[in-house]
Amino acid sequence: MENPRTPGDAAGFARIFHATHSDPFGFLGPHVLDDGVVIRAFLPEVETAEVIAADGAHLAQMSRCGQNGGFVARLPADVSVGTAYRLRLQANGTSWEVEDPYRFPASLGELDRHLMAEGRHRRIFDKLGAHPTTLLGVSGVSFAVWAPNARRVSVVGDFNTWDGRRHPMRLHPGCGVWELFIPDLGEGTLYKFELLGPNGKLLPLKADPYAFACEKPPHTASKVIKRGTYAWNDENWMSTRKEANACNAPMTIYEVHLGSWQRCPEEDNRYLTYGELAERLVPYVRDLGFTHIELLPINEYPFDGSWGYQPIGLFAPTSRFGSPNDFRVFIDACHNAGIGVILDWVPGHFPEDAHGLAQFDGTHLYEHADPRQGRHMDWGTLIYNFGRAEVCNFLTANALFWLDEYHIDGLRVDAVASMLYLNYSREDGQWIPNVFGGQENLEAIAFLKRLNEVLYEEHPGTFTVAEESTAWPMVSRPTYLGGLGFGFKWNMGWMHDTLRYMGKDPVHRAYHHNDLTFGLLYAFHENFVLPLSHDEVVHGKGSLISRMPGDRWQKFATLRAYFAFMWTHPGKKLLFMGGEFAQEAEWSHDASLDWHLTTDPLHAGMGAVIRDLNAIYRRTPALFSTDSNPAGFSWIDCCNPEQSILAYLRRVPKGGEDAVVIANFTPMVREGYRLGVPCSGFYKEAINTDSQLYGGSNVGNNGGVVAEPVPSHGLPFSVVITLPPLSVLILKTEAPDAVSGG
C-alpha cells in the first residue's frame, strides 16, 4: 500500500504531541485530499491501528508517522469523508475499539454562536458545560467552554489520564467558544479543562464554569451529569406561588446554613444530606410557621469558612450534602410543605482559587485587570467585569438556571452595595471614577437592572431581594420608574438601630428612643425585609440573646419583646437559625446548633413565642398586606421615651381586623396605662410576650380589655391596660360594640 502520509504530517503531529496545536480539527480526523480521504489520529502508547466501518469491516490500516504517536490512513477511493468509522487499536496483546472524536461535527449552531458573541444567550447553560448527548447515533458528552484568548483548550480527565494532548477542542473564533464531542463518555465522568494561555504558558487545570455537578471538596474536578431526569412533585406550589411571594403576602424567612443547622454527632459529626434535611429541617420550619427558607449560598465553593460566599461552581449545588437531584428532593419537600425557597446568590465577587475563574484563559477574562476595579481588598476576592457582555450573560443565565432547573422561588443578591459603588471600601486613589467622574458603577447598575427585568419576565412568580446597605434610592422599584428592579431590599438601617437600642440597659433606653422610631421615616420608601441574619451573630458579636442586657430572665424577656416588635413592624421578616430558641453561643459554621438548649423552659419558650408570632402574623392581614403602604401604619404613642413605651396601629385601609401593638421596654410593670384606640369594642390580647407559656411573669389583662368612649392619643376611644415588664402586647379588635362598654 502506498504511503498514506502527506507533507506536513510530521510537523502537525509534533504540535499535537507537544500540545501546541490550536486547530486540531484542521489536522486530525478525516480530510479530503486531491487523491482521496486521509484520516489522522493521535494515539500514543498504541502499537497498531486500523480504520473499520460501522459494521466492523476493515477499511484501512493506519501507518505510524514518526515517534510522536501519530497514525495516518488513506481510505479506499469509494469511501467518502462522511463515512462513519471506528478505530481498532492494539497494544500489549490487547485489542479494543474506539470512536474518533475528530470525525464528529460541531455541536454549536450558528444562532447559538451569534447570541453568545452578543452576550444575549439566556439559556447558554444548555450549550456550554458538559452535556451527555447522542451525535450521529453515538452516545457521548459534548463539552464547550468560553476561552477566547487561549491558544489551545483540551478536555482532560481519568478517561485520558489527564493528558491535554488527547482531546484538544475546536475553536469558534467569532464567539471565543471551544467545543468537543467525546464519544463513549457518560454520567459521573470527572473532567477539567487544560488551557494554553496567549503567551504560550500552560495554565493550572480549570474547573468548568458551567459544571452542573462537582467533586466533593477538597477535590475540585467537575462532574458530568444528565439534566432533566428528576420528576418534580410540586405542581400545586408552582401554580400558586405568585401569590405566596407577592409584596402583600405574609413572609417570614428562616435563614439557614445547611452545614451547621444540625449534624450527626454519632457519625463523626458529619453533615446531614439533602434528603435528611428534607426530613428534619422542612417539618421543623413548617411547625414554627415560617413561610420561606433562605439558604446561605449552596453554589459549589471550596472553602468552608466562606460559608458559600466565595463560590466556584455557580451552576452546581454543593456536593457536601448530596447530588443535584438530592437537592431537588429538598426543594420539592419545601414546596409540598408550603414553604418557599430563597437562595443567597453571589454575583458581586469570586475567589482567586487556581481552578476557578481567575485568569481563566490566561487573561483577565471574567474580572477587571486593574485591581482598583477588579479586586475587593477586604475579602481578597475578584470583581466581575460588568462591562463585558459575555460576563453579564454568564451571571444572568446562572440566575435563570436556578429558577428554572431547581424551582427556586427567590434570589437574595449578596453585597449589592459593593457592586453599585466604584469606591466601595476604598480610599482616595484606590478607585477609578466612571466616565462622568462619579462613584457609581454604571456597568453594574445596568447589569442589575437588566437582570431583574429578565428574571421577572421569565419567571413572574419569583422575586429578588437586594442586600443593599446604603441609601441608594428605589432599589425595590421597577426599572421603568428608574429603580433597580428588585422585589425587596434588606433594611440594614432598621437592624442596626434596633439592635443598638435593645443592647442598652433599660435605664438608658430613654435617651435612644429614636432608634426604634426613626425607621418609620423611611419604612415605605422600599419593599423592606427586616433582617436578623447570620452577619449579626458572628465575628465576635455574640448571639442575639447574649447581646440583651440584664440577668437571664431579663435577657429572654427582652429578646421575646424584640421579636414581637419585629413581627409587627412594617416589612417582611428574616431570622437566622438558632435565634428561634435563643442560641447562646456565637454561631460557628463548623458545629451544629446547640439543640440541647431546647429542653430548657426559657429556650423552649422562645420557640413558642416565634411559633405564635408566625401564626398571628399569617392570619392577620393588617400585619403584612400593607408593609409598603403608609396607610397601613399609624403611631398611637411614639413620644414616651421616659417610660420606653411604644404603641402603634397596623390596619388594612379598606377595612379589616386592626392590630394594636404596645411595647414596654423597661422591666417595670405599668398599671393603669390609658391607650387610645380607633373604635369601640373588645380588644383581645392576642399575644403577650410576658405569658408564662413563654417563660414570662404572666402579668397581663385577663385576655383582653373593653374600649371606653374616652378620647386619648388623638383617638376617640381608649383602653386602660397593664403593661407587663419587657414585653409586647398585640391587641386585636372584635366587631365594634360586640361587647358593651359598661
Any idea which residues carry the catalytic annotation? 414, 467
Handedness of CA 455, 471, 515, 427 (dihedral sign): positive
- In 3D, which of 360, 382, 359 has the Cα closest to residue 371? 382
Please name the residues in contact with 742: beta carbons below 8 A apart, sequence gap of 6 or more. Answer: none
In the block, residue with C-alpha cell 451573630 = 537
Q: List the alpha helices (DSSP H) in 349-410.
A: 371-374, 389-405
Please give the C-alpha separations between residue 371 and each of 311, 376, 394, 395, in angstroms, as whole numbers: 20, 8, 21, 21
Is the peptide bond prior to 218 cis by the omega test (within 30 degrees of 0)? yes
Cβ atoms of residues 140 and 183 within 8 Å: yes
Backbone angles phi, psi at 703, to 5 degrees: 95, -15
Instruction: List strands edge to edge, sheet with 152-157.
Output: 152-157, 190-196, 222-223
Could you tell me the three cell numbers for 112?
447559538
Please report which helix (H) or strand (E) contains residue 284, including its range: helix 274-288
The Cα–Cα gap between 32 and 49 comes to 20
Q: Is 28 exposed, middle or buried (0-12, 13-18, 19+ CB in 10 A)?
A: buried
What is the identity of the amino acid at 231? A
Based on C-alpha coordinates, what's the Rg of the chain? 32
The Cα–Cα gap between 721 and 177 comes to 72
In the block, residue with C-alpha cell 369601640 = 680
The Cα–Cα gap between 331 and 687 comes to 33
Cβ atoms of residues 693 and 608 within 8 Å: yes
In the block, residue with C-alpha cell 474580572 = 367
DSSP 8-class letter at 325:
H
The Cα–Cα gap between 706 and 741 comes to 6
Total Cβ atoms within 10 A of residue 24: 24
The Cα–Cα gap between 622 and 632 comes to 7
What's the angle, vertex CA 182, arms to CA 102 and CA 98, rounded to 5? 75
The Cα–Cα gap between 336 and 278 comes to 11
Give the three-state DSSP class for 501: helix
Could you tell me the three cell numbers for 535?
452577619
Give the total residue count for the chain.
742
Backbone angles phi, psi at 426, to 5 degrees: -130, 145
- In 3D, which of 280, 240, 252, 153 has the Cα closest to residue 205? 153
Please name the residues in contact with 381: beta carbons below 8 A apart, sequence gap of 6 or more. Answer: 310, 349, 350, 351, 352, 375
**Residues 143-178, buried b or exposed e (16+ Cβ, 10 A)?**
bbbbbbebbbbbbbbebbebebbbbbbbbbeebbbb
61 DSSP β-pair partners: 50
What's the angle, vertex CA 641, arms to CA 637 and CA 644, rounded to 5? 85
Total Cβ atoms within 10 A of residue 330: 27
- Ranges of beta strands (E only) in 533-582 are 572-576
The Cα–Cα gap between 76 and 61 comes to 11
Cβ atoms of residues 393 and 124 within 8 Å: yes
Total Cβ atoms within 10 A of residue 715: 17
